[in-house]
Amino acid sequence: MLSFLVFLFIVSFLIVIHEAGHFIIARRNGVKVERFCIGFGPQILKKKIKDVEFAIGLIPLGGYVKLAGENERESKGYDFEYLSKPINVRAKIVLAGPLTNYICAFLFFSLMFMVGHQILLPVVGDFLKDSPAKKAGIKKGDVIVEVDGKKIENWQQLQKIVFNCKGKTLSVKVKRDSKILDFKIKPTKREYRDILGRKRKVYFLGIIAKGNTKTKKYPFFRAIFEGAKLLFFLTLMIFKALFLMIIRVLPFREALTGPLGIYYLTKKVVHIGLGAIFHFIGVLSLSLAIFNILPFPILDGGHLLFLSLEKIRKKRLSPQIEDLINNIALSLLIFLVILVFINDIFRFVIK
């Protein structure tokens, strides 16, 4: 029950952040906002504050901000209407949603580094078959403290050095029962799936992490720096994953996760700690920002695409053509949502 409530809170929070971006920039540029709604379906709660109706829908998996005169059928030519504003103002309103989610992701990544995140320690738990480390004399419980003169603090550092060693013999220092021991180990090459699911040949010592972790915190300014680094890294990773999915290198079923998958992931992070929850919120907010900025009709990126066409053509698309494009896009999006939901059932429910 706790996991479900956390899931609802996270999803609703990110939707509110996104729509608040549209809302604030619209108001600041003199566009009247008629409705601010979170969720779809029948409205279970609504209240009018001044000239804006705030509402909550039964299905909390989306939301929207209704602007005055946002299409030609409704527009009366008043100055406070969306279509009465210049293209650059309308573009700012559209872009504000994804940008707010992007900034939100940065803040939560920074918070994660402030409160502390779990790092996997370089403690040997087991060995792969024909492990060069085991043959060299490494034992279970040994702590890798140094490789080729480089201090090792976590398992990720160890992997990075070994993966890119080009097959040369490595000088490895381990701590065993308060003693420091030296070993010479020549890694072997094995197949490995990277973070994007691609098969690569990399070098291994043939050891498996024991699973020991510790919490690492950073001071304020270092946490901000690390948050920005992580944001940049994950942004590149998401765009690479999208590209690999398009060229069919990365399987569709491994690249996308829907609400059901997010719920199951929420159940896991809730039991890890606050740092893991902040990281999870950051990743979701970043994913929401990037997904919405894709140049697909009915998404924010699609609206920006229409505004670009308007800028080039010096006039808007006809309402009929725009409706046709949006209806086709909506049908495709619903089909994609169904596919993702079915995929999530097989990934998380039927294993």
DSSP string, 166-182: TT--EEEEEEETTEEEE
Q: Which residue has tokens 């059932």?
A: 345
Domain coordinates in residue numbering, the chain: 2-116+260-349, 119-215
Position 315 scores a pLDDT of: 85
Position 86 scores a pLDDT of: 93
88 with 72: CB under 8 angstroms? no
Identity of residue 154: N
pLDDT, one tens digit per residue, over 83-102 is 999 999 999 999 999 999 99
Position 259 scores a pLDDT of: 66
Position 252 scores a pLDDT of: 60
- Give the pair of three-digit tokens for residue 305: 């695409």
Nearest to 156 by CA among 230, 92, 88, 209: 209
25 with 92: CB under 8 angstroms? yes
Nearest to 91 by CA among 318, 329, 296, 293: 293
Position 105 scores a pLDDT of: 96
Longest dimension (CA), the chain: 81
For residues 13 and 54, what is the distance between their CA atoms, to the nearest angstrom?
15
Position 67 scores a pLDDT of: 93
Position 197 scores a pLDDT of: 62
Position 224 scores a pLDDT of: 96
Would the CA dihedral through 153, 159, 160, 161 be positive or negative? positive
Quickly list H helices, the chain: 2-28, 87-115, 132-136, 155-163, 220-246, 252-255, 259-270, 274-293, 300-313, 319-344
Position 41 scores a pLDDT of: 79
Spans of the chain, pLDDT less than 50: none
Identity of residue 127: F
Nearest to 22 by CA among 50, 54, 64: 64
For residues 113 and 121, what is the distance between their CA atoms, to the nearest angstrom?
17
- Give the pair of three-digit tokens for residue 267: 């159940």
Would the CA dihedral through 88, 92, 94, 95 be positive or negative? positive
Which phi and psi angles does 73 have, rounded to 5°?
Answer: -70, -30
For residues 160 and 122, what is the distance between their CA atoms, to the nearest angstrom?
12
Q: Which residue has tokens 């001071």?
A: 219
SS3 330: helix
Which phi and psi angles does 294 have, rounded to 5°?
Answer: -65, 140
Q: What homologous superfamily does CATH list for 119-215?
A: PDZ domain (2.30.42.10)
